[in-house]
């Protein structure tokens, strides 16, 4: 806790940001994300060799989904291996409503969230009886069922060829470039983060964390386990459905290939590496998981220029290092990047007089 903090009302003490400095930092960060990043994106792109703007957009989309899974797995303690498919439900819903039914984007995106929330809640019903690994298997079934439907319901989803989707326009403002779309994603990311943070400090969030920590005693306190488990599945799927909708209009084509088991596992890796149950965890984990493969591409390419043979032999070098880094992270930082962030912050708060 920072020194010199003298709250005189309970309302002050309930605030998220306690000191002026933190507020200034947050304001600065948001200002940079809105006004600064677009300018540094292109020089950085030529430096790294990949499109930084594109990466920022992908990170933004996946942060929303990771927030959703973090609410379910990190906060409520219900594991899900179906979030990749749920994202697909959101993507196809928005794409179909926008392209085939001609709905405006403003309606098709929330509708994607709502439809996904409904689907997620149906597949969340087993959570009343199943826990841990058994729930993981049950949600994995959701992944395969939805995957199958996406591939074979050709009249609706276009089958293996997928659907072509247009970039939307809002109030006559066409979101046709990566940069323009970035602003839409950024706004949704900020709103979803605020909502999650607020949810966790009020009645619903407390009930969910209580279910994670000790569900029997939560029930005695009057928490309706079924209602809150389903609600967690619903809100979580809403988040990931919105992420899917944003992805569909950004990627311009949706097919079942994007939403496989691999994506579900990636989502799980994001929240575990970032830190289960921390709002920051979803953000850090997503940045890590999306950026790391791209950053690993740089040394691989350099090496392949110098030693072409190595690249031929170790074609999967990038994947190997990727897996290794994740394993090392889990061993040395099992509480995730968010916990590390808190440790670093606590260290600097009193530096150099930390005793």
Q: Which pair of structure tokens corresponds to residue 351?
A: 């530096």
For another protein, how many residues bind (rule: CB under 8 A)?
34
Q: What is the 8-class DSSP label of residue 103? A: -
- Residue 231 touching another protein (CB under 8 A): yes
23 sits near another protein (criterion: CB under 8 A)? no
> Is 167 a residue that touches another protein (CB under 8 A)?
no
Identify residues 33-72 at the interface with another protein (CB under 8 A). none
Question: Is residue 166 a contact point for another protein (CB under 8 A)?
Answer: no
Kindly indicate which of the ranges 5-13, 143-151, 171-179, 282-290 contains the residues binding another protein, using the contact rule CB under 8 A: 5-13
How far is 335 from 340, CA to CA, in rounded Å?
8
13 lies in the binding site for another protein (CB under 8 A): yes
Q: Are strands 173-174 and 253-254 parallel, antiparallel or unpaired?
A: unpaired
Q: Is 204 in the site for another protein (CB under 8 A)?
A: yes
Residue 3 binds another protein, judged by CB under 8 A: no
State the burial class of residue 1 (Cβ atoms within 10 Å of its Cβ: 0-12, 13-18, 19+).
exposed
Q: Tokens at residue 131, please?
A: 């826990």
Q: Which of 44, 122, 225, 321 forms a contact with another protein (CB under 8 A)?
A: 225
Q: Are 346 and 3 in contact (CB under 8 A)?
A: no
Q: Which of residues 322-351 bind another protein (CB under 8 A)?
A: none
Which sign, positive or negative, has the C-alpha torsion 127, 218, 118, 167?
negative
Extract long-range pairs of 221-225: CB within 8 Å, 24+ residues apart: 225/128
Residue 210 engages another protein in binding (rule: CB under 8 A): yes
CB 336 within 8 A of CB 276: yes
Q: Among 20, 35, 133, 216, which residue sits at the site for another protein (rule: CB under 8 A)?
A: 216
Asked if 64 and 192 touch (Cβ cutoff 8 Å), the reply is yes
Binder of another protein out of 42, 46, 177, 202 (CB under 8 A): 202
In the complex with another protein, which residue's Cβ is closer, 44 or 209? 209
Nearer of residues 52 and 276 to another protein, judged by Cβ: 276
Cβ nearer to another protein, comparing 117 with 254: 117
Among 52, 112, 235, 243, contact with another protein (rule: CB under 8 A): 235
- Region of 35-43, 122-130, 217-225, 340-348 interacting with another protein (CB under 8 A): 217-225
C-beta of 29 vs 194, nearer to another protein: 194
Among 7, 129, 201, 349, binds another protein (CB under 8 A): 201
Euclidean distance between CA atoms 138 and 133, whole angstroms: 9
Instruction: Confirm or reject binding of residue 214 to another protein (CB under 8 A).
Output: yes
Q: Are 213 and 128 in contact (CB under 8 A)?
A: no
Asked if 11 interacts with another protein (CB under 8 A), we say: yes
Minimum CB separation of residue 258 from another protein in Å reads 28
Binding residues (CB under 8 A) for another protein: these are 1, 10-11, 13-14, 195-196, 198-199, 201-207, 209-210, 212-214, 216-225, 231, 235, 277
């Amino acid at each position: 806790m920072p020194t010199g903090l003298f709250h005189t009302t309970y309302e002050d003490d309930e605030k998220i940001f306690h000191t002026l400095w933190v507020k200034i930092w947050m304001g600065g960060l948001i200002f940079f994300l809105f006004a600064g990043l677009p300018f540094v994106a292109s020089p950085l792109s030529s430096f790294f060799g990949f499109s930084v703007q594109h990466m920022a957009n992908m990170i933004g989309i996946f942060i929303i989904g990771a927030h959703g899974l973090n609410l379910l797995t990190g906060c409520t303690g219900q594991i899900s291996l179906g979030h990749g498919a749920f994202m697909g439900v959101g993507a196809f819903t928005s794409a179909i409503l926008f392209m085939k039914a001609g709905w405006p984007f403003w309606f098709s995106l929330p509708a994607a969230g709502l439809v996904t929330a409904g689907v997620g809640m149906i597949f969340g019903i087993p959570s009343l009886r199943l826990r841990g690994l058994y729930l993981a298997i049950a949600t994995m079934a959701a992944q395969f069922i939805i995957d199958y439907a996406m591939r074979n319901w050709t009249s609706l989803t276009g089958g293996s060829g997928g659907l072509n989707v247009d970039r939307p326009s809002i109030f006559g403002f066409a979101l046709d470039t990566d940069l323009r779309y970035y602003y839409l994603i950024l706004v949704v990311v900020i709103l979803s983060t605020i909502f999650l943070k607020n949810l966790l400090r009020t009645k619903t969030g407390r009930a969910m964390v209580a279910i994670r920590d000790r569900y029997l005693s939560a029930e005695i306190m009057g928490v309706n386990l079924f209602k809150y488990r389903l609600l967690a599945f619903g809100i979580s799927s809403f988040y990931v459905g919105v992420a899917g909708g944003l992805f569909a209009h950004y990627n311009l084509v949706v097919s079942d290939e994007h939403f496989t088991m691999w994506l579900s596992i990636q989502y799980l890796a994001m929240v575990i590496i970032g830190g289960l149950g921390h709002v920051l965890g979803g953000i850090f984990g997503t940045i890590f998981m999306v950026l790391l493969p791209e950053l690993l591409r740089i040394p691989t390419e350099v090496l392949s220029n110098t030693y072409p043979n190595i690249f031929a032999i170790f074609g999967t070098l990038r994947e190997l290092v990727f897996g290794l880094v994740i394993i090392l992270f889990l061993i040395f930082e099992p509480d995730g990047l968010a916990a590390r962030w808190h440790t670093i912050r606590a260290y600097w708060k009193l530096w150099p007089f930390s005793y």
